Structure 1
Amino acid sequence: MRKGYWIANITVTDPHAYADYQALAPEAFARFGAQFLARGGKRIALEGRETPQRSVIIEFPSYQQALDCYHSEAYQRAKAARCRAAEVDIVVVEGS
């Protein structure tokens, strides 16, 4: 079974409200076996759009679990908080 990955680029617009997302999201990530491979840290855009504030790569045991996590009730609660606090691009990718 191939792993699944979330690749997220995040620009936080309201740090206080983003803290609500950070408090809610771990429940969904734990339930679906998420492992953070990269979270914040140094980054540089070599091509394309400018560098976002944060880039995050999350590994899941399978592509389906990555999708299920995103669509889960627990993550949708976290997403509702995040939408008030950040501009986000998320892509789910199947590993090779």
Structure 2
Amino acid sequence: MPVLAIIETNISDPSWLEAYTEQVTPMLAEIGARYLTRTDDIELIEGDNKPQFSVVVEFPSKEVALAFYNSEEYLPYRTARLNGSSSKFLLVGVENGTE
């Protein structure tokens, strides 16, 4: 079953962004994942603490998402993101309709 990674980020040091985007995008494509959105166009409707930036990535499965997140290849980019921002990284299952 597909899974969505929803990343809410508040960037404190933008120096990591360019390399992250350039290198992580092809990594995701190689494993069959794709960005659904990468934006700072966010309107907070409910709750508090609106993120500065939001990313949604569709992965083929939870296993693929977790393998990517924990991979040695992604580690330096994950570390840079964590050092240069405050983030929430959520995995959300995708159901194909109701029956």
Q: TM-score scaled by structure 2?
A: 0.82
Could you list the structure 1 runs, at least 4 aligned residues long, displaced by more than 2 angstroms after superposition.
17-28
**1:13 aligned partner:** 12
Contact 2:40-2:52 within 8 A present in 1 as well? no
Specify the alignment match of 1:57 in structure 2: 56
* 2:91 pairs with 1:92: yes
8 Å CA contact 2:3, 2:58 repeated in 1: yes
Alignment map for 1:61-80 (pairs within 5 Å): 61-80=60-79
Shift of 1:67: 1.4
What is the TM-score normalised by the length of structure 1? 0.84
- 2:39 aligned partner: 40
Q: Which has the larger radius of gyration?
A: 2
Other structure's SS at 2:73 match: helix
Between the two proteins, the alignment pairs up a number of residues equal to 95
Percent identical residues:
29
Task: Indicate the larger mover: 20-29 or 41-50.
Answer: 20-29
Mean CA deviation greater in 4-13 or 42-51? 42-51
Conserved? CA contact 1:4–1:65, under 8 Å: no
Gaps (5+ residues) in structure 2? none
* Farther-moved stretch of structure 1 (60-69 vs 16-25): 16-25
Structure 1: 5+ residue stretches without partners: none
CA RMSD of superposed structures (Å): 1.7
Q: Deviations over 1:58-87 (max 9, x none)?
A: 001112111111111111121111122111
